[in-house]
Amino acid sequence: MFGQNSIRQRFFIQLFTASFILILLFSSFTYLYVKNSILNAKKEHLIQVAQNITTYQALYSAQRQSGKTYTNLFVTLVHLKHPLPEILLYESTIDGQNYITILYPFMLHNLSYLKITQDITPTVRLLDSIFQSIFFINIFGLIIILLYAIMLSKMLIYPIKMLTKRLSNINEHIMEPLNIHEIPREFEELGITINHLINRLQTFIKYQKELFIGTAHELKTPLAVIKLKNQVTLIKQRTPKEYIEALKVTNNTVDDMNIIVSNILNIGRQEGAQLERAVSVDIIPIINNKANDFKLLAVNEEKELIIDLRPSSFVVTIQPTLLNQIIQNFLQNALKFTPKHKTIKIQSYLQDEELVIEIIDEGCGIDTNIDLFAPFKRQGNKKGVGLGLFLAKSASDALGARITLTNRNDGCSGTKASLFIGQKLTCSINRQEFKTD
């Protein structure tokens, strides 16, 4: 039932210890309160008796005037050498009997005091009986608490056991999301997070398989071209010029293969970047610097890049390398597919506590029936391997952000690439900094 580093065992021990201390303190205070109340009542009674005797100068007269019978009292008159500063009350035990005694001034001019003693043995025995009753009640209460702690810990640990069992059965072939409605409300956030991780794992495994198959296919084709070209070249004797042309084709094919290998290496570098320590940084200057770099490239290709970033500051805890990869890929694609003398725009704004970053081009648009985030998926007739958007999607998933790729809906042809950075990633800063200019 319990084991080393058991949550249930720690909960059980803590609940039992806390309950034991609480019961002990409550019982002790209760017993002391009852005891003091009873003994104080006895003391008040002795003071009242002493006052009555002093007033009427005789025990019989005091009994008759007060209407009470003073039984179980021992009254004597004592003379002291020195006056007492106050009424003296004390308890004593003689031959197993308990007594309470009061010395009360009777005639101060001759230092005579009333010494009244009462046998409180029955009261002490009553208090002992109360103490024993409280003790046995506490033992019974602790047993009830033990049983309650065992049942409560079992009940509380059940959802965790259920989640553990479900997660232990997950493998790359059978990964079904958890049913949130079957999870206790307190574990809903955990269930949502686990489902998010399962979804990411499914996407990752799917894309990794496609990447593996795509890589084999992409490398197999140029290798086949090289082999075929060499076989054709070797069939008969050729001129030096023809050999040079064959070598040029081979070199171009090798260059294409190097591009594929470089992109695959970039995937490995990105996975390493996902392990970087996240830092709190203002991402608006980072985006602006990257946009300014591409603005120079756009001018060189006779295109225009417009930058409109709002708000002026947005602090986020993030891996800047992954953010740079996403923005760079979006800008590269926009620059690649936008014709000369056309415009590219990068803008950002706040929407429902999210920072939205958009790169809008005037290219040919996209085919919405193609999963462009899958590896080796290409759009249009532009040269490329088809791994850029796959890297961007992996980076956004690692950041906990979202990216979308849609066609423009403003009457112009082109594509709008969007990056959504949620409020959960951001630090709390002055709301005035989010105001647009």
Residue ranges per structural domain of the chain: 7-144, 170-272, 279-434
Q: Three-state DSSP class for 99?
A: strand
132 exposure class (CB count in 10 Å sphere: 0-12, 13-18, 19+): exposed
DSSP state of 4: T
Task: Write down the pLDDT at residue 430.
Answer: 38
> Token pair for residue 181?
């409605």
Asked if omega into 311 is within 30° of 0 (cis), the reply is yes
pLDDT surpassing 60 at residue 353 = yes
pLDDT at 172 over 70: no
- Mean pLDDT across the chain: 80
HSE value, Cβ hemisphere, 13 Å, CA-based, for 202? 12
Q: Which 8-state DSSP code applies to residue 360?
A: E
Where does the pLDDT of residue 376 fall: very low under 50, low under 70, confident under 90, or very high at 90 and above? Answer: low
pTM for the full model?
A: 0.51
Which tens digit of pLDDT belongs to each residue from 18-42?
888 888 888 888 888 888 888 888 8
Contact 281, 408 (CB under 8 A): no
Q: In degrees to the nearest 10, what's the CA dihedral of 271, 277, 283, 289?
A: -60
The answer to whether residues 203 and 191 touch, using CB atoms and an 8 Å cutoff, is no
Round to whole Å and give the CA distance between 348 and 418. 9
CB 314 within 8 Å of CB 356 = no
What is the mean predicted confidence (pLDDT) over 133-139?
Answer: 86
Decide if 362 contacts 423 (C-beta within 8 A). no
Instruction: Identify the residue with better confidence: 185 or 29.
Output: 29
CATH architecture for residues 279-434: 2-Layer Sandwich (3.30)
SS3 (DSSP) at 248:
helix
Which residue in this structure is represented by tokens 């995937």? 267
- What average pLDDT does range 256-277 have in this prediction? 68
Q: Does residue 211 have a pLDDT over 70? A: no
Which H or E element spans position 160?
Answer: helix 121-168
411, two tokens: 């009457």
Residue 395: both structure tokens together = 């980076």
What is the mean pLDDT of the segment spanning 336-362? Answer: 93
Q: Which amino acid is at 375?
A: P
Do residues 97 and 87 lie in contact, with contact meaning Cβ atoms separated by under 8 Å? no
Average pLDDT of span 277-286? 89
Q: Average pLDDT in the 398-405 region?
A: 88
* DSSP category for residue 434: G
Asked, colleague to colleague, whether 170-272 and 279-434 share their fold, the answer is no
Give the per-residue pLDDT at 432. Answer: 39
Q: How many angstroms separate the CA atoms of 301 and 100, rounded?
A: 109
Asked if CATH classification 1.10.8 holds for the domain at 170-272, the reply, yes or no, is no
The Cα–Cα gap between 395 and 401 comes to: 9
The one-letter code for the residue type at 82 is H
CA 191 → CA 18, 159, 164, 165, 217, distances in Å? 31, 11, 11, 13, 39
Residue 327 CA: distances (Å) to CA of 70, 119, 403: 99, 94, 11
- In angstroms, what CA-CA distances link 308 with 140, 288, 423? 73, 9, 21
